Amino acid sequence: MTTQTTTRNNILAAIDYSEASLPVVEHALALARVKLPCDLHFLHVDAYPGDDEGRECNRLELIDWLGARLPAEDELNGVSVIAHEASGKPAQVIVQMASDLSSHAIVLGTHGRSGLKRLVLGSVAEAVSARAPCSVLIVRGKDVDHSFSELEPPCALCINARLTSQGYTLWCSDHAARHGRRHARYGRGEAERTL
């Protein structure tokens, strides 16, 4: 007799209670719902270890923080949520936890710091992505200052073309010339459509 086992997917989401953690919760939950059955592990790392009372306070703070941002258990649609409080160097703890859990993916946020600020403060996201034993999804909030002057904001006419064509046209007439005929929508049995 063969015993059939169901392998559960497992995602680790690192949070730090900042604004950057809000999209991490949203993206991690969305990813977990696609990867059912799934265990979604939330990890908060405190850089300084405390005594037993302090660790218990940290654990309760984590549970309260998640409770205010996650849907009710019956709305999780088969996603099992586990909360972890740890202490140590954040990047090292995140990578080790992902290894210990055999995580399929790590989701974490970034504060969007660059240049001197990043050099002084370090980059947990960069360190995790360099050392992680699995895929890493780095989530940035829409309001992050990208400080990359060469980037133009999206063209309003291109956005309108996408909306009115339901995604079949990607560019306005001005930008279509710049992008050329390098884009085609894939679809079985459909004629090629130039985007």
pLDDT score of 177 more than 80? no
175 shares a domain with 86? no
> Would you say residue 111 lies in a domain?
yes
More confident residue, 188 or 109: 109
How far apart, in whole angstroms, are the C-alpha atoms of residue 124 and residue 133?
15
| Strand-strand pairing, 79-87 and 38-46 | parallel
163 shares a domain with 107? no
Show Cβ contacts of residue 57 under 8 Å, excluding neighbours closer than 6 positions: 50
Do the Cβ atoms of 33 and 77 come closer than 8 Å?
yes
36 shares a domain with 82? yes
How far apart, in whole angstroms, are the C-alpha atoms of residue 144 and residue 42?
23
Instruction: Give the SS3 label for residue 162.
Output: helix
**pLDDT the model gives residue 116:** 44
Mean pLDDT of 114-127: 59
Q: How many domains does the chain have?
A: 2
Instruction: Give the SS3 label for residue 83.
Output: strand
Buried b (16+ CB within 10 A) or exposed e, 51-70: eeeeeeebeeebeebbeeeb
pTM for this model (two decimals) = 0.71
> Would you say residue 38 lies in a domain?
yes
- Structural domain that includes position 96: 9-139
* CATH at residue 49: 3.40.50.620
pLDDT score of 193 more than 70? no
18 shares a domain with 61? yes
How far apart, in whole angstroms, are the C-alpha atoms of residue 86 and residue 83?
10
> Would you say residue 4 lies in a domain?
no
Do the Cβ atoms of 112 and 18 come closer than 8 Å?
no
On average, the pLDDT of the chain sits at 81
pLDDT score of 121 more than 50? no
**pLDDT the model gives residue 188:** 56
- The values of phi and psi at residue 172, to 5°, are -70, 175
How far apart, in whole angstroms, are the C-alpha atoms of residue 191 and residue 173?
22
**pLDDT the model gives residue 1:** 46
184 shares a domain with 100? no
User: Cis before residue 37, ω within 30 degrees of 0?
Assistant: yes
118 shares a domain with 162? no
pLDDT tens string 1-51: 444 445 789 999 999 988 889 999 999 999 999 988 899 999 999 888 778
Which pLDDT band holds residue 189 (cuts at 50, 70, 90)?
Answer: low
- The values of phi and psi at residue 124, to 5°, are -60, -45
pLDDT tens string 52-74: 888 888 889 999 999 999 988 87
160 shares a domain with 135? no
> Would you say residue 150 lies in a domain?
no
128 shares a domain with 38? yes
